[in-house]
C-alpha cells in the first residue's frame, strides 16, 4: 500500500468521524431535545472539562482531516523529493 493510498483511507475514515462527531456535538451542545436520552449537559458529571466527549472528538477528527489533506496535497519531484514552494530544499 502506498503512502498516498494510506492517506486517502485515513482521510475517508476521518471525514466520517468528523461528520458523526459534529452531528453528535451539535445535538448535545446546541439543540438538546427535551425528554430524550442524551449525554450529560455541559458542566455536569460525565463531561470532560465541562463539555461532552463528542466535542473533543470533533476537534481531534478535524486535526486528522487537516493533516491527511495536507499530506495528500504535498507535491513531489520525479525523484521523490518533496517540493516546498519554488525552492527545493536539500
- Do the domain assignments include residue 49? yes
- Do the domain assignments include residue 88? no
Q: CB–CB of 7/68 below 8 Å?
A: yes
Give the pLDDT of residue 1: 82
- Do the domain assignments include residue 14? no
- Do the domain assignments include residue 58? yes
Give the pLDDT of residue 77: 55
- Do the domain assignments include residue 4? no
pLDDT means over runs of 10, the chain (90 residues): 89 95 85 60 68 87 94 69 56
Quickly tell me which residue has 439543540 as its cell: 31
Number of structural domains found in the chain: 1
Q: CB–CB of 65/57 below 8 Å?
A: no
- Do the domain assignments include residue 85? no
Q: Domain containing 50: what range?
A: 24-33+40-75
Amino acid at each position: 500500500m502506498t503512502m498516498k493510498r494510506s492517506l486517502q483511507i485515513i482521510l475517508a475514515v476521518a471525514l466520517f468521524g468528523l461528520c458523526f462527531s459534529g452531528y453528535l456535538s451539535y445535538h448535545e451542545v446546541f439543540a438538546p431535545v427535551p425528554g430524550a436520552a442524551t449525554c450529560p449537559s455541559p458542566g455536569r458529571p460525565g463531561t470532560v472539562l465541562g463539555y461532552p466527549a463528542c466535542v473533543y472528538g470533533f476537534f481531534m477528527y478535524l486535526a486528522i482531516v487537516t493533516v491527511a489533506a495536507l499530506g495528500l496535497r504535498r507535491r513531489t519531484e520525479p525523484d521523490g523529493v518533496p517540493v516546498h514552494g519554488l525552492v527545493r530544499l536539500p
